[in-house]
Chains A and B, each alone.
Chain A
């Protein structure tokens, strides 16, 4: 009570300057590393050395960098999908399930097989796999979207539950019909079902030897650009923004909200499904257990950190890819989760600075 100076939190009445959201996000990330550093110190580690190691593990070589991008790819696609749903305040946390169903549907093409894997051109096979992955994810997104639009079922609960359904659905098929000699995985896909990798070009350029970077990242980048355009320059983007800000106003303006809920859920699911396709076709080359290391949930975080902006999602997923790759090299292994959690906490808290300004005020002597 008697401090000479106190903090006063005031609501911002004007628009925050354009650089401020970027500055607070960057500040939050720096602060997260500082806090992690202090914790490292407390448990007897050397923060400077640790972070140096961190850096080298992620960016120290072309191979490491390629690993980072490979890890970032599913996060980017899922982050974009979650971001578009979140813009409409649809809390799709079912990207994990949509990812698995997308991977499953894409895998059907080489596993059944749905076409002659020997003679069909690789481009055709891959295109069909992309379509299957996206349609699978979209249909799996349709379920919670339809339930929400028709019966007002909470999408948080339905998407969360559907995640388990998808994982066990996947398990059933890899343990039974598609099992590779009784192992809990399918046989390796034929080469025509593999997304092209840089390593494929080793003959042309020795530098690409062993580089696992695959075409999936291009899907992510293209999707980010298309989404940016849809959000900012299309009727549909306007409808999504309006519904997100005030569904009642949107209804009053004659916009069909139910239809949009279903469509956005399907788009969100299609992007997660594409991530699943890209992962089985570009990285694992077979369907198996645990093809996702919680990508579906990290994607939620990525979308939030990027403030639902598709282009910012590219940067954030890259950062998260780096954290995952570097985190593998660090003991104790929880450090990665510690930093990730701290960043999320701080970035979300830093939002306050966009809506409020904080002033130091000299306590007036006249106040009783």
Chain B
């Protein structure tokens, strides 16, 4: 702990904060100090209590006990309004914008001024001025629905700045951004602290902490494991250990492997999304045995639809060939019969039945074949045995195979899905965001499982928003933008900058 910070330099001090949620202690006697003019990273895994702590500071939750001092003065917030009045602004993971209004209108929403007559051009100018002074490119007259996710985030930051925020809380701001946008955001953050503002930067990505933060506080299971240590004094490995509670090896076991014959082939596939708009446009690709094809792209550019078309969950035009057999517009069963495993993006909404036991979830794709069932009868003793084996083999942490899966952590839930999908010895694996939101330890285990399947000659289509993951696992990377494949590379030749530009639609390769 650093006690040598002069009083007048402290913007926020949170002392001994405790907050209980049903069944868990979200914040367990947490101390947190934010200096004026610094970027302070708040690091921790999902569910470590980072967002909770900052929601307390932003006036959304009231702590059970503890004290908050802003500029040395004790405060008690009853609503976000109180926090805003004290100069605290928070940009949430989920934006709170009215999509049919303009940028300026959104910035002004809820303010007392302008009172009656709206002189919008004047306010447009003011908003543009603030944006420019922090190096943010935004058109104040644009409607929100016309903006990209990155631009919408800038509007949220503008909202906070316009309200006079001196203390800015950014909750996982980089999760939705392309690499270039992340760089832009970091420049803006630097500019803001040089103007004397203070920033809390919530993240679970170690590289970003090392790159942009001055100090870092680490939370694990609601407790502080590193209290405002300087980033210069710490290594990435040490931070990972503080975050996870054990040593983490940043090493994957990827061996050279020669791909075999084509397993999956898409020929000129187009499909609509749930709103009836084009989601995939003339997509053609191939995945071979023992090969991982990575699909890079910002969320919502057709990735989910691509996976659904292949696994028979969505209708499409064009041909989807698995082992040479056209499975387009067939039932999910057809794809499963061809040896397709699907690790879906939505683990609780699609991948599992939350209120059923681990056993019932593990037999979802094998319940209709021996040894679990013969004819119409299901043998639950055979199912239990099958489940117990997988539980041990895939190290699923749970009291028993009868535990409901909604009681499992995200990592263990994903292991249930992987155990089910991989144990069928698939020829083709469609993995969508397989490590999203998981802790470092689980990510490592799951990535190694995918690599293992590659060695077993499975063809793997890996859809991910994490470029690092794609670069580490894939043999080839294709970039998707607005439902089109706009470029493809061998991973060794892939250039992060080029891929980033393609993800935002600024560049496409000539095919």
Contacts and interface: CB of A to CB of B under 8 A. Distances in A.
Interface string B323-353: 0000000011100100000101010011111
Contact of A242 (B65, B344, B349, B353): B353
A49 interface: no
A367 interface: yes
A242 B360 contact: yes
Contacts of B373: 235
Contacts of A235: 367-368, 373, 376-378
For chain A, which range describes its interface: under 10, 10 to 19, 20 to 34, or 35 or more residues?
20 to 34
Contact of B333 (A13, A238, A254): A254
Interface string A237-262: 11001100110111111101000000
B313 A245 contact: no
Interface in A1-25: 9-15
B355 A245 contact: yes
A13 B407 contact: yes
A366 B65 contact: yes
A13 B356 contact: no
Interface string B376-418: 1110100000000000000000000001100100000000000
Nearest to B361: A249
Contact of A234 (B336, B355, B378): B378
B494 interface: no
User: Which DSSP category, helix, strand, loop or mixed, fits chain B's interface?
Assistant: loop
B22 interface: yes
B282 interface: no
Contact of B332 (A13, A233, A251, A367): A251
A364 interface: yes
Interface in A326-368: 356, 364, 366-368
Contacts of B368: 235
B499 to A, nearest CB: 30
Contact of A233 (B356, B363, B378): B378
B23 interface: yes
Given A10-B23, A254-B331, A367-B64, A246 B349 contact: yes
Nearest to A232: B380
Contacts of A238: 360, 363, 367, 378
B294 to A, nearest CB: 23
Contacts of B22: 9-11, 356
A83 to B, nearest CB: 17
B377 A254 contact: no
Contacts of B64: 364, 367
Contacts of A164: none
Contacts, number: 83
Interface residues of B, number: 36
Contacts of A168: none
A15 B404 contact: yes
A183 interface: no
A125 B306 CA distance: 58
A13 B350 CA distance: 22
Contact of B356 (A11, A12, A245, A356): A245
B365 A233 contact: no
A252 B342 contact: yes
B354 interface: yes
A15 B351 CA distance: 22
A249 B333 CA distance: 13
A117 B349 CA distance: 57
Interface string B35-74: 0000000000000000000000000000011000000000
B376 A242 contact: no
A36 to B, nearest CB: 34
Given A9-B22, A13-B23, A367-B64, A245 B378 contact: no
A249 B332 CA distance: 11
B23 A11 contact: yes
Contacts of B344: 252
Interface string B286-330: 000000000000000000000000010100000000000000000
A232 B378 CA distance: 8
Contacts of B352: 246, 249
A167 B272 CA distance: 45
A256 B331 contact: yes
Contact of A249 (B65, B336, B350): B350
B267 interface: no
A172 interface: no
A254 to B, nearest CB: 4
Contacts of A252: 311, 313, 332, 342, 344, 350-351
Interface string B115-159: 000000000000000000000000000000000000000000000
Given A235-B367, A236-B376, A241 B354 contact: no
B356 A254 contact: no
Given A246-B349, A248-B350, A254-B365, A233 B377 contact: yes
B252 interface: no
A236 B378 CA distance: 9
B440 to A, nearest CB: 24
Contacts of B99: none
Contacts of A253: 332, 336, 364-365
Q: Which of B22, B363, B373 has the most CB of A within 10 A?
A: B22
Contacts of B76: 368
Nearest to B344: A252
A253 B336 CA distance: 8
A368 B17 CA distance: 12
Given A254-B336, A256-B331, A234 B376 contact: yes
B356 A241 contact: yes
Interface string B83-106: 000000000000000000000000
Contacts of A15: 403-404
Contacts of A13: 23, 407
B431 to A, nearest CB: 14
Contacts of B365: 253-254
B23 A233 contact: no
Nearest to B375: A235
Contacts of A366: 65
Contacts of A248: 346, 349-350
B344 to A, nearest CB: 6
Contacts of B378: 233-235, 237-238
Nearest to B16: A366
A232 B377 CA distance: 10
A368 B332 CA distance: 56
Q: Which of A356, A364, A366 has the most CB of B within 10 A?
A: A366
A252 B364 CA distance: 9
A253 B403 CA distance: 20
Nearest to B365: A253
A112 B378 CA distance: 44
Given A246-B352, A249-B364, A366-B65, 19 more contacts: A11-B23, A15-B403, A233-B380, A234-B376, A235-B376, A235-B377, A238-B360, A241-B360, A242-B364, A246-B349, A249-B353, A250-B353, A252-B344, A253-B332, A254-B332, A254-B336, A254-B365, A356-B22, A367-B65
23 contacts: A9-B22, A11-B23, A13-B23, A14-B407, A15-B403, A233-B377, A234-B377, A234-B378, A235-B373, A241-B353, A241-B360, A242-B360, A245-B356, A246-B350, A246-B353, A249-B350, A249-B353, A251-B313, A252-B332, A253-B332, A254-B333, A364-B64, A367-B64
Interface of A: 9-15, 232-238, 241-242, 245-246, 248-254, 256, 356, 364, 366-368
Interface of B: 22-23, 64-65, 76, 311, 313, 331-333, 336, 342, 344, 346, 349-356, 360, 363-365, 367-368, 373, 376-378, 380, 403-404, 407
The 7 A-B pairs of least Cβ separation, nearest first, read: A254-B333, A245-B353, A10-B22, A11-B22, A253-B364, A246-B353, A13-B23
